[in-house]
Structure 1
């Protein structure tokens, strides 16, 4: 299984036993009595210190042991003579796998801006911040799969290439093999997609939900967890063109069941991160505290671990959209015209409205239900009043909406009516509609953008910093 990782070696009892280290140099410090090399292999936020003696190795070797170089070090694991670590390695041999010229290596041991690190996304995982983020991202993904597996869900692989627009937004990336210099056209001058690979227009998916519902109508409980794409020309800190979605779909679940599932799910995976990512979360919390020192007191964020515990430990407040609008209309920010966006029944709540409800009014996570049908998707089940749908959004502090879901419309005639109402061609969704003809059943589901979850758990402020290689307008470099 290869050599022991630094994480394992740091936990070992020092008994002058032989060890082999393999990793990248974070820092090298020389004094008249010793040469200290801090090595990291990505398995932990912590470095291990390797100590060599002056003159022990040729100068030309020591000169290329610089920040960023990749080394193999063998030696004895001993009790550390310095503070800050329990063990260190007394060096016996050094092999340089790969040097890193300090004159051109961009990750020197100093503070780098996040904007700069996005320009070198191929190297930024080697920094403490991004190493921590990627380890937490892994832990959260593992917790997602474990959660659903332990509760009888089946992992369904829905297509990345689709001919349907699940959200009806139209902001999709086209998939084609047509020669763009010689596009075939019909007699009317339109693009002749019959000549394309799939014989029709095809796109990258914005959601696996519709296909997920098909799985739930046979397996009862399924979930999808895969990449989704949206060609939205947005450069905000909350949007990506390529992102990962978690979408469970559950037969025989109604709105209340759906809310229970969403709350339990998000609490469980965040609790798992608190349990399994302590060192990385402590590092990120300290990083945020350093950043906050330069901010006014009223702009400083809640300590990261406190914010995560806040979500795990509190029951989520549940109320209808209509009740939320009434609260916002009576709120001080509305009366003093401090909200940037207007408040009124029928609006699509903005982040400032959602955060007011969570952070100021209830001081806990919130689940809003029963939104106006005009601002929600066609597949959501109509309430008896015909004006609202059985939607539910989960709102978090600092981020606003993190989960969106609903009870799905299982009645064929009502669903067909909504398809016509929003201007979708029923022929494009014949297979989706047909499930309402053959053994239809009440069912529900929700979607969670994985990067939004990672953003919340890590405390980062830009979604481009919680995915290894972000895709956004004019950026597909790596």
Structure 2
């Protein structure tokens, strides 16, 4: 059975036989020896293979190896006299599995721009930075489940195909067979689309099981071709019964600290790469989020601070307008210099399901803002009162009959409940320091672009 390089470098079983497989990064020949560095994707580091002319295929195969070739190697691990590495593998057998033409293989031993790599979605995971992103993303995904399972949340797989528009923005991809001629022929009996959120369905299960979460792909047909937007992205959406806004903020804060700490603890080499080459000071920024108390102000207080700021913003600041990324970053980076929770937004700019406050003008909503990115979590206490929810839906122009099931949740055993959404790619972007969100998802989908 082959061993992963990550485990070899961790355990360093010097003098023991080892078998592994991977892809060639470099080959250097010296006299009757070849020094071959291979990587198997398990970690950032390569392992040096020492192959000599005593191997039967040394001249025919090994000396022809080029970057990108795949190999299987067996041998004995030994201490390395070279600087920068503790061990190397003395090969007793090296089999070439697949070759890579050096004239056409596009990933050579040099730094490539992320824009260039975006055009090679099928090969870019082989690079140091994108491989590190993949490992950190995987670890964060694991930590998400670990966090909620430790707290007795039940995972719910909410539908990807939905007949309800949670955000009410109409930015949904319509699902169609292409054969329908009229409403009577809809495949699902009515118009359906790809989900923008699993929240409404998660509420169904929260009001039966208590605390639940859904974590999966969501879609938005928004024609935004920017470094912050994707058409397909993953959302984490916990929903808690018998929970008000304060409890909602507490679990969101605890979760963020948990996830950031987990990534730094379990992916140290990858995180150091991001800190050194992608965003200087990244680790200090993340430690600040983990260690500091989150500040808390209301939306009205935030607007007041922004209006008094001695700074020119691109977007206007006025009570009743949504905060933009530049406003959010200014507040978290320059005013409070720490993570910030903003609550009690105007009802007019928030979805129908958010609980109306006693002032009748604002809702029990909250956004968590972090330095370097702005909003990373958005949530609210849900409106549990039937009459208030009905009035909000009518005001928003929502067809009540289409949401009869949602209204039933308020007719039969309604309770205070709340939840939030975390855009997973935005979290990965924050943790890795990547400037463009397309670098933190394996196959980015955006207007005009759907590689692989």
TM-score when normalising by structure 1: 0.93
- Structure 2 vs 1, CA of residues 385 and 302 (structure 1 numbering), >3 Å: closer, same or farther? farther
Q: State the alpha-carbon separation in 1 of the partners of residues 9 and 155 from structure 2.
A: 36
Q: CA deviation at 1:79?
A: 0.3
Q: Which residue of 1 aligns with 2:21?
A: 22
Matched, 1:318 2:296: yes
Task: Select the residue among 420, 427, 434 that pairs with 2:394.
Answer: 420
> What is the CA–CA distance in structure 2 between the aligned matches of 1:135 and 1:450, rounded to whole Å?
14
Take 2:12 and 2:256, find their aligned partners in 1: how far apart are those partners? Answer: 37
Equivalent pair of 2:444/2:451 in contact (CA under 8 Å): no
**Cα offset for 1:178?**
3.2
| Post-superposition CA distance 1:190-236 (Å, at most 9, x none) | xx122121111010000000000011000010000000000111111
CA contact 1:156–1:224 (8 Å) conserved in 2: yes
**Alignment counterpart, residue 384 of structure 2, candidates 404, 410, 413:** 410
Q: Work out which of the residue numbers 324, 332, 335 in structure 2 matches 1:350.
A: 324
2:175 is aligned to 175
1:386 is matched with which residue? 360
Please, which of 372, 380, 398 is the counterpart of residue 346 of structure 2? 372
Mapping for residues 41-440 of structure 1, pairs under 5 Å: 41-54=40-53, 56=55, 57-179=57-179, 183-184=180-181, 192-288=182-278, 303-333=281-311, 338-440=312-414
SS at structure 1 position matched to 2:410:
coil
Native 8 Å contact 2:183 2:190 kept in 1? yes
Which segment is superposed worse, 6-15 or 421-430?
6-15
C-alpha distance in 1 between matches for 2:366 and 2:12: 51
Gaps of 5+ in 2: none
| Partners of 1:452 and 1:26 in 2: CA distance | 31
Q: Note if contact 1:178-1:196 (Cα within 8 Å) is conserved in structure 2.
A: no
Distance in 2 of aligned mates of 1:426 and 1:360: 44
Q: Give the drift of 1:14.
A: 4.5
Q: Is the 8 Å Cα contact of residues 29 and 37 (structure 1) preserved in structure 2?
A: yes
Shift of 1:3: 1.6
Determine helix, strand or coil for the equivalent of 1:435: helix
2:31 aligned partner:
32
8 Å Cα contact 1:64-1:100 kept in structure 2: no
- Provide the C-alpha distance between the structure 2 equivalents of 1:432 and 1:11, rounded to a whole number of angstroms: 52
Task: For residue 111 of structure 2, give the secondary structure of its aligned residue in structure 1.
Answer: coil
Structure 1 residue ranges without an equivalent (≥5): 185-191, 289-300
Which segment is superposed worse, 15-24 or 164-173?
A: 15-24
Q: C-alpha deviations, 1:61-110, integer Å up to 9, x for none?
A: 12431110000111111001101111101122210110011111111111
SS across alignment from 1:11: helix
Q: Distance in 2 between matches of 1:302 and 1:386?
A: 45
CA deviations 1:273-307 (Å, max 9, x no partner) are 1110101100111112xxxxxxxxxxxx5511101
Query: What per-residue deviation string (whole Å, max 9, x for no partner) do you get for residues 225-259 of structure 1?
Result: 00000011111101000000000000111011111
Distance (whole Å) between structure 2 residues aligned to residue 358 and residue 121 of structure 1: 34
1:458 paired residue number: 432
Q: Distance in 1 between matches of 2:302 and 2:398?
A: 31
Residues 64, 99 of structure 1: 8 Å contact kept = no
* Structure-1 separation of matches of 2:373 and 2:157: 29
Instruction: Give the CA deviation at 1:150.
Output: 0.4
* Partner SS for 2:121: coil
How far is 1:54 from its partner? 4.8
Q: CA deviation at 1:55?
A: 6.6
Q: Is the 8 A contact 1:4 1:20 kept in 2?
A: yes
CA drift at 1:53: 2.5
Secondary structure of the residue aligned to 2:223 is coil
Aligned length: 451
Superposition deviation, residue 414 in structure 1: 0.4
Does the 8 A contact of 1:19 with 1:75 survive in 2?
yes
Report the Cα distance in structure 2 between the residues aligned to 1:12 and 1:144, rounded to whole angstroms: 28
Distance in 2 (CA, whole Å) between partners of 1:84 and 1:411 is: 64
Partners of 1:395 and 1:402 within 8 A in 2: yes
Q: How big is the alpha-carbon RMSD for the aligned residues of Structure 1 and Structure 2?
A: 1.2
Between the aligned partners of 1:419 and 1:64, the Cα distance in structure 2 is 69
Aligned residue for 1:27, secondary structure, equals strand
Q: Deviations over 1:153-208 (max 9, x none)?
A: 000010100011000010111111232xxx51xxxxxxx12212111101000000
